[in-house]
Structure 1
Amino acid sequence: MHKTPIKILMTDDHPMIIEGYQNTLLSSKKEHQELDIAIASNCDESIKAIKKSMAIKSPFDIFFFDISLPPSKDGVYQSGVDLAAYVKQYVPAAKVVLLTMFNESYRIHTIIKNIKPEGFLIKSDITSKELSSGFQAVINNPPFYSGTVNKILNKMTSSRLDVDDVSHEILYLLSQGVKNKDMSKRINLSLSMIEKRKKYLKEVFRISDGKDDTLVIKAKDAGFI
């Protein structure tokens, strides 16, 4: 039987986790698949491996990036999201799977919109079965999102509230306790515009008491943060 070679790069700073991923994929691969798995433990190692594979014209087919990684020494790459963005630009034919411990709606929504990964898994969702089925889905019928990611996306979509990207970011910053004066520096809006946005959001979410805290609670309930 003809074997289909699949080159994989896994980047995670926890050796036991990578070992678990490797063992799961190797034990559950299809008979016709031949997996060549390389590993990296930080952004520098990962970028080095990616560039080397491109230089010898043998690029990776699939990348697994933990989002929380030690940054590169030059500060250019701060996380697995930065690595994914690099791959999307320079290895566009490859498939990207992001893995993370966090489950904040805003961050997940933003990453999916900006990166468009073929796979997005919350680590607390991952079982051997979930990882192996997700791997095959990414190869054959992407995207594949784990249960928590799908719940977050479905909840926000089902709310059908008119919240654009800027307003969405304001909700997220409010949930992080960021004050208006600091918020204006981060999203390049004047204080008056931020207040207008907040007023609009309170109307959208039907906040009767006018409080920011109530807005945050309602936005969380609707799946926006």
Structure 2
Amino acid sequence: MTEKIKILMIDDHPMIIEGYQNTLQFTKKESQELLINIANNCDEAVAFMDKSVRDERPYDMLFVDISLPPSSDGRMNSGEDLAEYARKVLPDAKIVILTMFNESFRIHNIIKNINPEGFLIKSDLTSSELASAFQAVLNNPPFYSGTVNSHIRKTISSDIVIDEKNRKILHLLSQGIKTKNLATHLDMSLSAVEKRKKQLKELFSVEDGQDETLLNEARKKGFV
């Protein structure tokens, strides 16, 4: 009995997609037949998804790269937006996120917003890991790569609870954004930002009040 698996791969680097495709075709089980479509940008991906819904042949799995050029109408700015769209129109499809980002903030954001069945960091990725991830996501999700798991473990083992806004403050500070400019990035007043920074320094037991010390402590705990 052949199992037909319909897959959409979204990445703007044709060589990378070719590698994924070859790996999956080469390592799939004999009983599996893979029907793979390829999209190189947000517009193509949305068109494929919408067509699969119209044809009543929805995708079983999507491989989504996070760094993609925005869609022509400006509604989609990244693979993250695409994955959120896929969750709405293809509720049964399994989503595998592939990304070069390995910052704690991005990883947590993606898990929170998309809760993907697979999450792979490209720099960790080998052919055998991709093959294992594919079968695991099909049969027994989720499958997260080593870097993702270690970020999750670090954050869980730390008893510090940090909300979305505070994570963003840490992320922006780590990007070198000055405190006075944080307010515009976060759509908050400067005094609200200062208050949150003070809380963060207390949480992380920063004695000297320096942003650099705060970032070092946050890094150790896997928040940056």
| TM-score (normalizing by structure 1) | 0.96
* Worse-superposed segment, 113-122 or 188-197: 188-197
Number of matched pairs: 224
SS at match of 2:222: coil
Cα deviation for residue 181 of structure 1 reads 3.3
2:53 counterpart letter in structure 1:
M
Structure 1, residues 147-176: CA drift from partner, whole Å, max 9, x if none?
111111111111111322221111111112
User: Which residue in the other structure is 1:199 paired with?
Assistant: 198
Structure 1, residues 177-214: CA drift from partner, whole Å, max 9, x if none?
22333322232322222111111111111111100111
SS at match of 1:155: helix
Query: What's the RMSD between the two structures over aligned residues?
Result: 1.1
SS at match of 1:111: helix
Cα deviation for residue 82 of structure 1 reads 0.9
User: Which residue in the other structure is 1:19 paired with?
Assistant: 18
SS at match of 1:8: strand
Structure 1, residues 73-115: CA drift from partner, whole Å, max 9, x if none?
1111111111101000111110111101111110111111011
User: Which residue in the other structure is 1:128 paired with?
Assistant: 127
| TM-score (normalizing by structure 2) | 0.96
User: Which residue in the other structure is 1:144 paired with?
Assistant: 143
Between the aligned partners of 1:204 and 1:76, the Cα distance in structure 2 is 37
Between the aligned partners of 2:195 and 2:68, the Cα distance in structure 1 is 37
Between the aligned partners of 2:7 and 2:127, the Cα distance in structure 1 is 17
Unpaired segments of 5 or more residues in structure 2? Answer: none
Between the aligned partners of 2:163 and 2:78, the Cα distance in structure 1 is 26
Structure 1, residues 5-28: CA drift from partner, whole Å, max 9, x if none?
100000111111111101111111
1:12 counterpart letter in structure 2:
D
Residue identity (%): 59
SS at match of 1:30: coil
User: Which residue in the other structure is 2:77 paired with?
Assistant: 78
SS at match of 1:23: helix
Matched, 1:42 2:48: no
Between the aligned partners of 1:191 and 1:70, the Cα distance in structure 2 is 32
2:187 counterpart letter in structure 1:
N
User: Which residue in the other structure is 1:157 paired with?
Assistant: 156
Unpaired segments of 5 or more residues in structure 1? Answer: none
Between the aligned partners of 2:161 and 2:69, the Cα distance in structure 1 is 37
